[in-house]
Amino acid sequence: MTRSLRLSVPLAAAMLAPFPLMAQETRPSVETAAPNAPDQTPAFEGQTRAPQPAEPLEVATETVAQGLPQLWAMEFLPDGRMLVTAKKGDMHIVADGTPGPAIEGVPEVDADGQGGLLDVALANDFADSGIIYFSYAEPREDGNGTALAKARLVEDGSTARLEDVEVIFAQQPTYDGNKHFGSRIVVDADDVIWLTVGERSDEEPRVQAQDVGSHFGKVIRITAEGDPAEGNPFIDQDGAMPEIWSLGHRNTQSAALSPEGEFWMVEHGPKGGDELNRPEAGLNYGWPEVTYGVEYSGEEVGEGITQNAETQQPLYYWDPVIAPSGMAFYEGEEFPEWDGAILIGGLVTQGVVVLGMDGDTVEWEDRIPLEARVRDVRVGPDGAIYAVTENRDEGSSTIVRITAPDA
């Protein structure tokens, strides 16, 4: 006994030796600011403050369009021009860095506060059909609500117009406020339309994020005709809104389809609680009962619960927040080492957040600083990354092209 014990001590030491060496190699997080909720702990290792990548990001940037109205979203048309939405209610086609005239036929929007003309997406058959989808804060008699419309974009010489405009989703109930409209639109390979809808922020409406009888704080999933999509979890439940896919979301302005065809999103959380989710049918993502972070007043959110069995944990969260805007999965030849990485526009971080992924796990996080609020981020047909900036004081935007330095 004694002899074997003596032998085991150096053996154990030898086995343990590699671990301190590995720990020394762990790279620090790109986030160096103090958390807003220092007493909260993640549910699993790597859920926040992932290490920086082994190779630091090196990029070159150039402004490819400026003097634009304050934009909310941008999509590339098949010919490489850009279709943009301006928050105040206009839509333009940007060619060679210059916006064309306002596209006629855009419905009236409520541009107060966080409202306005919001996201735009192209139908999968856009090249043939000209069909686009767009979201906006819809003015109503007793308030407003997030709406999703479908229309045909028709060009005629140097002008363009929307025809056959049809609202295919209108958030219920109506609410009189100017915050948390969402919204991002994602069209999947089956032509199903996904829309993120905010919980309208204020104390009373935000609790409706937990109520499947309300569209507030939900992911919406519908057909191109506006019907609930097949497979929606609450279609047969009395009193539930059949368009709902998942619940318990706060205000999501960031969503994208992964290369595997799955719907992912990043939510604006409370102070110290932005979160990455890949929402599954019928599941509850917690808000406002279970969340990381604190109120912007500094108080606890509800009872200050960050984890429980009834709600889903975010795959990743940020404290302090990044304030997520647009989102895209990187695919292209410009940055081969970022294949499958998630790009997220940062309003507060003033740049693009890059997440290196292994399945559902964030392996690393880095940031592309742009010194401007980023409102949308897209991957161009050339493989470059395009960031739409916004300057709220000037009511203006630029579009910045991000490439590898030697390109």
Binding positions for Ca ion, rule: CB under 5 A: 73, 119, 121, 285-286
Distance CA 249, CA 269 (A): 9
What does each C-alpha distance from 344 to 1, 255, 365 come to in angstroms? 59, 9, 11
Residue whose CB is less far from Ca ion, 245 or 285: 285
Please tell me the distance from the alpha carbon of residue 214 to that of residue 199, in angstroms, as a whole number.
9
Residue 73 or 229 with smaller CB distance to Ca ion = 73
Which residue has the CB atom at the shortest distance from Ca ion?
286
Beta pairing partners, 154 = 161
- CA–CA gap between residue 150 and residue 164 (Å, rounded): 8
Minimal distance in Å, beta carbon 165 to Ca ion? 18
With both helix axes pointing from N to C terminus, report the angle between 18-25 and 2-16 in degrees, rounded to the nearest 10.
Answer: 20
92 is catalytic: no
Measured from the CB atom, the residue of 121 and 402 that comes closer to Ca ion is 121
The nearer residue to Ca ion, 119 or 366, going by C-beta atoms, is 119
**Nearest distance from C-beta of residue 267 to Ca ion, angstroms:** 7
Side chain identity at residue 170, one-letter code? A
CB nearer to Ca ion: pick between 136 and 285: 285
d(CA 149, CA 154): 16
In the set 180, 215, 249, 268, the catalytic residue is 180
Burial class (CB in 10 A: 0-12, 13-18, 19+), 262: middle
Residue with smaller CB distance to Ca ion, 51 or 318:
318
On the question of a cis peptide bond just before residue 320, with omega within 30 degrees of 0, the verdict is: yes
Radius of gyration of the chain measured on its C-alpha atoms: 23
- Is 82 or 372 the residue whose CB approaches Ca ion more closely? 82
Position 202: which residue type? D
Active-site annotation, residues: 180
